Structure 1
Amino acid sequence: MPRISTKGKNMPESPIRKLVPYAESAKKKGIKVFHLNIGQPDIKTPTVALNAIKNNTIKVLAYSRSEGSEEYREKIAKYYAKNNIDVTANDIIVTTGGSEALLFAMGSIADPGDEIIIPEPFYANYNGFSIASGVKIVPVVSKIEDNFALPPISEFEKLITSKTKAILICNPGNPTGYLYSKEEIEKLATIVKKHDLFIIADEVYREFVYDNVQHQSILHNFGLENNAIIIDSVSKRYSMCGARIGCLVSKNKEVISTALKFAQARLSPPTFAQIASEAALATPQSYFEEVIVEYKKRRDVLIEELRKIKGIKVASPKGAFYCVVELPVDNADAFAQWLLEEFNLNNETVMVAPAAGFYSTQGFGTKQIRIAYVLKKEDLITAVSIIKAGLEQYNKN
């Protein structure tokens, strides 16, 4: 019988999606499932983006340029200018989601066996992208007790070897909601320049920051023009996850020219989705202001309700729309599956993402879950009450 590749066997299951069959089974039994497992906003996609597709008169759905249409990239550059990020259209490659941008980045800067340092917990798919690229993730641990703050720079220094090519951060963070301060970015800038490394920043949640603080991009006057690679996406910003449009941004011309070769190999990003994404850039600032107010209310309600549960730890997110919760259980994977298979409260249950999949260090995060607060406040309160009742029953068993 033909054999599956070692790479294929090592590809991890998604902690966000792997419990879907159990959720579908629960729904078939008539149980309502509150989805806290996935960052799919319930905020409406801007009408201007949807209308750009509905009212389009294209006669031939043709390829676009491999780097994305020039018109769209010009408008992206203007969007960045509004956020004090000085780039041109030639510094941007449009990708099929932020996921492809990450794959292009890894492929452009690292060879098989090379290493990328990442503070963990981190976006679960970084594990999959690294395996697909033959890159080794070297984790530096941040802790829930410290609200997942950046570990001391000395911890990074200990991990740098001749194989190290980059440091990768997500800012604001998925799954933690952690927001890096200016001082932390300055420290990272110092270390990557000292060791001649790249710094990759996944900034897809840039708009979603709370408590009157400012997002710090790695291209905000930190002297990282040759080192910085930004990963971005329309998915969360405009509640357009299904568009699958992102981009890779760098002022390093060699990075861009190399990534373009990967872009050419996959031909081009989807044309209709670029049209919708280009139109979405006309979304008024009031849209984001309303969304941020809504997410802050949801965050505050969720954290308040979670802290009423005895025996849990919860980090306080400053951005994005996720938080990590440590539960009084031995195995959060088993608990999450049990909630879907065997438990309901008033014919309702909850789907969460076990957090072990957001670590690369074996045995870490086994008691933790990630919650995405993408539901309305009333549903979040109900969902937490289900988790509380579930914990009580589970620990009795």
Structure 2
Amino acid sequence: MPTISKKGHLMPESPIRKLVPYAEQAVKEGKSIYHLNIGQPDIKTPEIALEAVKNNDVEILSYSRSQGSETYRIKLTAYYKKHNINVSHEDIIVTVGASEALLFLFSSIIDPGDEVIISEPFYANYIAFSTATGVNVVPAICNIDDNFALPSIETFEKLITPKTRAILICNPGNPTGYLYSEEEIKQLGAIAKKHDLFLIADEVYREFVYDGNKHFSVMELEDLEEHTIIIDSVSKRYSMCGARIGCLVSKNKIVMQTVLKYAQARLSPPTYAQIASEAALDTPQSYFDDVIIEYVERRDTLITELQKIEGIKIAKPKGAFYCMVELPIKNSDNFAQWLLEDFDVDGETVMVAPAGGFYSTPGIGLNQIRIAYVLNKESLIKAVNILKEALKVYKD
């Protein structure tokens, strides 16, 4: 019998999506599920983006350029300028989501066997992308006890080896909601320059920053144009996850020329989704102001309710819409599956994301879950109450 590749064996399951069959079965059994497991906002997509797809004069749904529509990329430069990121449209390559951008980037700047340092816990698919490209992840471990703050700069430097090619952060963070300060970004920039490394920032949650804090981009750093790279997406910003439009941004011409070769190999990003994404750039600031107010209220509601449960730890997020929670259990994979298969309160249960999949270090985070507060406040209160009742009866 033919066999699959070693790489295929090593490719991890999604810690979020692997529970879907259990959720589907629970629904078939008549249960209602509060989905705290995935970052799919319930915020409405801007009407201007939807209308652009419904009402246009496209007669032939043709390929776009491999680097993406020129009009969209030019319009993106104005968006970035508002955020103190000064780039030209030639510094942008449109991709099929931020996922493709990072996959192309790893393939372009890191050889198999080389290393990327990532602040841990991190977005689970970073492991998948590194596996697919043969890149070794070196974790800089963060701790829930200090709210997943960035490890010391000395810790980062100790992790650097002759095989290190890049440092990757998510700012604000998924799954932690941690927001890197301007000083922390500058410290990472100094390390990148000192050791001649790339500094990559996944900034898809740029808009979602709370409590009077401000987002500082790696591309605001001075004298680091050859080192800094942004990964971005419309998915969360405009509640357009299904559009699958992202981009890679850098002033490093060699990087962009190399990434473009991968973009050419997959031909082009989807045309209609680019039309919607371009129109979405005209979304008024009031949309984001309202969304931020809503997410702050949801975050505060979630934390208030979680604090009523004995024996747990909570990391308070400063951005994005995720919260990491440590539970008085041994294995959150088993717990999450049990919630779907064997537990409900009046026919309702919850679906959470086990946090072990957000770590590359074995044995860490097994008693943690990630909660996405993308539901309305009433639903969050009900969901946390179900979680509270479940922990009263759950046995490891």
| Aligned 1:47-86 pairs, distance under 5 A | 47-86=47-86
Does residue 350 (structure 1) correspond to residue 355 (structure 2)? The answer is: no
Are the counterparts in 2 of residues 186 and 222 from structure 1 also a CA contact under 8 Å? no
| Aligned 1:178-327 pairs, distance under 5 A | 178-327=178-327
> Could you tell me the TM-score, scaled by structure 2's length?
0.99
Shift of 1:222: 3.7
- Structure 1 SS opposite 2:72: helix
Corresponding residue for 2:380?
Answer: 380
Corresponding residue for 2:174?
Answer: 174
Per-residue CA distance 1:100-140 (angstroms, 9 max, x = gap): 00011111110110100001000000000000011000001
Amino acid at match of 2:70: E
- Structure 1 SS opposite 2:369: strand
Corresponding residue for 1:141?
Answer: 141
Are the counterparts in 2 of residues 352 and 369 from structure 1 also a CA contact under 8 Å? yes
Amino acid at match of 1:183: E
Indicate the percent of aligned positions where both proteins have the same amino acid. Answer: 70
- Structure 2 SS opposite 1:208: coil
Corresponding residue for 1:45?
Answer: 45
2:335 & 2:247 partners in 1: Cα distance? Answer: 37
Per-residue CA distance 1:341-360 (angstroms, 9 max, x = gap): 00001110000000000000
2:266 & 2:391 partners in 1: Cα distance? Answer: 47
Per-residue CA distance 1:285-343 (angstroms, 9 max, x = gap): 00000000000000000011111100000100000000100000011110010000000
Shift of 1:224: 1.9
Corresponding residue for 1:332?
Answer: 332
- Structure 2 SS opposite 1:209: coil
Number of aligned residue pairs: 396
Q: 1:222 to 1:302 in 2, by over 3 A?
A: farther
Are the counterparts in 2 of residues 36 and 374 from structure 1 also a CA contact under 8 Å? yes
- Structure 1 SS opposite 2:231: strand
Does residue 87 (structure 1) correspond to residue 118 (structure 2)? The answer is: no
Gaps of 5+ in 1: none
- Structure 1 SS opposite 2:7: helix
Per-residue CA distance 1:131-157 (angstroms, 9 max, x = gap): 001100000100000100000011111
Shift of 1:54: 0.3
1:125 & 1:223 partners in 2: Cα distance? Answer: 31
1:157 & 1:221 partners in 2: Cα distance? Answer: 19
The list of structure 1 runs, each at least 4 consecutive aligned residues, that deviate by more than 6 angstroms after superposition, is none
Per-residue CA distance 1:167-216 (angstroms, 9 max, x = gap): 00000000000000011001101100000000000000000000001001
Gaps of 5+ in 2: none
Shift of 1:57: 2.1
Are the counterparts in 1 of residues 186 and 221 from structure 2 also a CA contact under 8 Å? no
Corresponding residue for 1:103?
Answer: 103
Amino acid at match of 1:254: I
2:332 & 2:53 partners in 1: Cα distance? Answer: 42
> Could you tell me the TM-score, scaled by structure 1's length?
0.99
Per-residue CA distance 1:208-238 (angstroms, 9 max, x = gap): 0000010010011343211001000000000
Does residue 162 (structure 1) correspond to residue 162 (structure 2)? The answer is: yes
Aligned-residue Cα RMSD (Å) equals 0.7
Amino acid at match of 1:52: A
Are the counterparts in 2 of residues 118 and 140 from structure 1 also a CA contact under 8 Å? yes
Corresponding residue for 2:18?
Answer: 18
1:191 & 1:56 partners in 2: Cα distance? Answer: 48
1:24 & 1:223 partners in 2: Cα distance? Answer: 51
- Structure 2 SS opposite 1:168: strand
2:177 & 2:239 partners in 1: Cα distance? Answer: 18
- Structure 1 SS opposite 2:40: coil
Are the counterparts in 2 of residues 189 and 222 from structure 1 also a CA contact under 8 Å? no
